[in-house]
Structures are given as C-alpha cells and as structure tokens.
C-alpha cells in the first residue's frame, strides 16, 4: 500500500570521509552540527525523531547527510548502517538514504550498502560542467558523476542528484544542460541548492578578494526554475529546493552573501507559474477565475501575490479556485 506521508530522519556527519574541502562548503555551518555523531549517538537521534513521527500511513527513511559516507572506513559505515537497519527490522523505519561523492562509488561499496537496506544514494553532483567543478575544488569531473550514477542504477538503488547552481564559472546554460543530463541518466530524485557564500570557506575569501561573484537572487530563481522545469518534465522527483534552514542560516550568522532566501522554493514555484500564466491574453473589461489543483493555488497566486498582481494589470478582477481533477501545473480559466 502506498504511504501518504514521507519523513527522512537526518543524521548529519559533517565532513566525515571528505578528502577535499570543496570551496563552497562548511558543513558545520550548513548543518549547525559541529562533529559527526559517534555511532552510539545515532541511536538516540533516531529514537528522538521516531517518538515524534506518526507511523501510520507514513514512510520513514534514515538519511546520512553532510559528508562523504562511502569514503568512511568500512567498519564505521557498517556500524552506522547496522544501527539504522535495526529500526527497519523492528518495523519502525522503511529504508536508508545517504549522500556521498561521485568519485567514492565502487562495486564493493554498493554491495555493502545493499546488504544494509540502503534504498537511495544521493550524489553531490553540484555541476556537470568540468570547469565549474575544477573552480569549485571538487576534485572530480562530470564523468565520475555519470559513471557512478549508472552503477547506482544498475545495482538497483534509487538515484538522487544534488545540484548547486551559481558556483564559480557557472552559467545558466550549464545548469540547463545538467538538468537534461540528469533526466537522460534516469535520476529518480534531485535537490537544487543555489550556491551561497558561507563564512570561513575558501569561497568567502574569493568573494572578499573580488574573485567570485555570487549570482543574484533573481538569477538563482530563474536558473533553478529552468532546472526544475526540465527535471519535472523528465519525471525526476524534486525533493528539495534551497538550503536547509538551520539556526545558523536563520540567524544569518553563516551566510556572507549569495542568493539565500527562506522562501526560495516558493519563489521558484512562483516563477514556474508566472511562465505558465504569462501567456494569458488580457482584457481589462473582464474578470478571470483560474482553476488549479488545491496545493498549487498559493504558488500560482505567487510569492507576495506576484502572479496575481501581474494578472490584475490585465483583468478587471482575478480569482483562483480549486479543481481537484487537475494535476501538477494544469489550469483552466473562466471569464465573466
Ligand atoms: S561538499 Fe560534500 S564532499 Fe565537499 S567538503 Fe562538503 S561534504 Fe565534503
């Protein structure tokens, strides 16, 4: 039976297994966690989260994020995985997901992950342009991402790809190409986090010396909307848009500059709806009522009502109403 709600319990392992310090990354600040939890602590993190999640009709995954999981010594990986798997055996969780680097995937690591009920492997692709990867200090090329993705899929895992538009040297067309490649590879999930400058990172130094200029919030919204459009059309499930909001980011202590906004996802969905609604021919003598799937109404009206305002300039009145028969961004309109 398909479960209606999905939860991922995040277990952050900041920088664990990372041999490179990518120029944009300070996992301690991004996750607001200072060091990888000892294996024993994972147990209490899981218990704490599970006590707050209703089990009925809910699918629960344990997610190891924030480091290079598959570069950890095998015995540590096994200990983390065994702990999480214990909850799957007890029926309290359904699967494990983890994030890692594309150049740390090989057959023996995949065999280990399969043994412990890992369902989804997310690769920090960040970009699929080699110059952007080089300037970002990633230490691998896009060919690694393609090869690792194919291996992951061949071995029966779900594949997630994480992208970071706006890294050094990035361009809108590179992001569009990356989204198209992700679709052709057959990725199941994607996350898109536009690059922001976090204090204490090499990127912050590059920004301060004028070597790096982050993209504007407007560009980040447009580039991300381009990617989301392609990914959605290609059947890729977008599980996250915009950075994880931890306390550091909320307080603004860690972000030096860049296209960070707490409502970034809403802004991207607003842009996608704006593109759809922009084609409606206006008539100031008439009112328009637009019918939309319930969960899309706020996005269609737009962040701060932007799309509503756009239409109000063209019509005497503008209304939005639900039509439960519609899917995705389908809509139809009535005029009076
Ligand atoms: S981006 Fe990923 S691989 Fe790079 S330093 Fe951060 S956690 Fe490690």
- Quickly list H helices, 127-216: 130-135, 142-154, 172-185, 202-208
pLDDT digits (tens, 9 = 90+) for 167-193: 999 999 999 999 999 999 999 999 999
The CA angle 279-179-267, to the nearest 5 degrees, is: 50
Residue 139 CB–ligand 1 contact under 6 Å: no
Tell me, in angstroms, the distance from the centre of ligand 1 to residue 198's CA: 13
Residue 27 CB less than 6 A away from ligand 1: yes
Mean pLDDT for the chain overall: 92
CA of 221 to the centre of ligand 1 (A): 24
Quote the pLDDT of residue 35.
67
Establish whether residue 127 lines the binding site of ligand 1, counting it when its CB lies within 6 angstroms of any ligand atom. no
Ligand 1 atom at minimum distance from 66 CA: 7
Cβ of 101 closer than 6 Å to ligand 1, yes or no, is yes
Which among 25, 100, 195, 201 is the best mutation to test ligand 1's pocket, defined by most ligand atoms within 8 Å of the CB? 25
Pick the residue whose CA is nearest to atom 7 on ligand 1: 67
Distance from Cα 265 to the centre of ligand 1, integer Å: 23
Count of beta carbons in the 10 Å neighbourhood of residue 329: 18
Distances (CA, A) of 292 to 30, 300, 335: 36, 8, 15
CA dist 189 and 158 (Å) reads: 8
- Any atom of ligand 1 within 6 Å of the Cβ of 15: yes
Q: Report the C-alpha gap between 212 and 134 in whole angstroms.
A: 14
Neighbours of 130 (CB within 10 A): 14
Asked if residue 136 has its Cβ within 6 Å of ligand 1, the reply is no
pLDDT digits 0-9 by tens, 284-333? 999 999 999 999 999 999 999 999 999 999 999 999 999 999 999 999 99
Task: Report all structural domains of the chain as residue ranges with CATH numbers, in order of start.
Answer: 5-262 (3.20.20.70), 279-335 (no CATH)
* 31 Cβ below 6 A of ligand 1: no
Alpha carbon of residue 2 to chain centroid:
23
Does the pLDDT value for residue 33 go beyond 60?
no
For atom 4 of ligand 1, the residue with the nearest CA is: 22
Distance 20 CA to ligand 1 centre (A): 7
Q: Taking 90 as the threshold, does the pLDDT of residue 244 lie above it?
A: no
- Which pLDDT belongs to residue 157? 98
Q: 200: which 2 tokens?
A: 């204490």
User: Is 167 buried (19+), middle (13-18) or exposed (0-12) by CB count in 10 A?
Assistant: buried
Q: Whose CA is nearest to atom 6 of ligand 1?
A: 25
Give the pLDDT of residue 32.
55
pLDDT by residue (tens digit) across 80-115?
999 999 999 999 999 999 999 999 999 999 999 999
Q: Give the pLDDT confidence of 43-68 residue by residue, as tens digits.
A: 999 999 999 998 888 999 999 998 89
- Is the pLDDT at 250 greater than 70, yes or no? no
Q: What's residue 145's pLDDT?
A: 98
Q: Assess whether the C-beta atom of 49 lies below 6 angstroms from ligand 1.
A: no
Q: Which of 1, 29, 3 is nearest to 15 (CA)?
A: 29
Read off the pLDDT of residues 8-20 as tens digits, 9 standing for 90 and up.
999 988 888 888 8
Cβ of 67 closer than 6 Å to ligand 1, yes or no, is yes
- pLDDT higher than 90, residue 25: no
Residue nearest ligand 1's atom 5 by CA? 21
* pLDDT at position 251: 46
- Nearest residue CA, atom 2 of ligand 1? 67
| Residue 4 alpha carbon to ligand 1 centre in Å | 32
Indicate whether 28 pLDDT > 90. Answer: no
């Amino acid at each position: 039976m398909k479960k209606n709600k999905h939860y991922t319990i995040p277990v952050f392992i900041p920088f664990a297994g990372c041999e490179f310090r990518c120029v944009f990354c300070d996992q301690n600040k991004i996750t607001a966690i200072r060091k990888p939890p000892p294996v024993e602590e994972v147990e209490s993190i899981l218990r704490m989260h599970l006590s707050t999640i209703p089990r009925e009709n809910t699918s629960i995954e344990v997610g190891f994020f924030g480091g290079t999981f598959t570069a950890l010594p095998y015995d540590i990986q096994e200990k983390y995985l065994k702990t999480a798997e214990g909850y799957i055996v007890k029926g309290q969780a359904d699967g494990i997901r983890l994030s890692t680097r594309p150049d740390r995937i090989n057959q023996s690591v995949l065999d280990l992950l399969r043994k412990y009920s890992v369902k989804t492997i997310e690769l920090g692709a960040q970009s699929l342009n080699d110059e952007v990867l080089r300037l970002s200090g990633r230490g691998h090329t896009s060919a690694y991402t393609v090869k690792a993705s194919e291996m992951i899929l061949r071995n029966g895992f779900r594949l997630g790809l994480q992208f970071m538009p706006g890294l050094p040297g990035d361009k809108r067309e590179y992001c569009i190409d990356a989204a198209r490649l992700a679709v052709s590879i057959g990725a199941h999930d994607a996350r898109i986090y536009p690059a922001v400058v976090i204090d204490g990172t090499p990127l912050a130094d590059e920004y301060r010396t004028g070597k790096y200029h982050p993209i504007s919030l407007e560009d980040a919204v447009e580039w991300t909307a381009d990617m989301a459009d392609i990914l959605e059309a290609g059947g890729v499930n977008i599980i996250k848009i915009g950075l994880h909001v931890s306390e550091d980011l909320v307080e603004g202590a860690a972000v030096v500059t860049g296209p960070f906004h707490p409502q970034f996802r809403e802004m991207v969905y607003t842009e996608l709806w704006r593109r759809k609604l922009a084609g409606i021919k206006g008539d100031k003598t008439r009112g328009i009522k637009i019918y939309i799937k319930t969960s899309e109404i706020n996005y269609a009206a737009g962040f701060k009502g932007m799309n509503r305002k756009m239409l109000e300039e063209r019509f005497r009145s503008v209304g939005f109403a639900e039509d439960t028969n519609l899917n995705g961004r389908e809509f139809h309109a009535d005029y009076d």
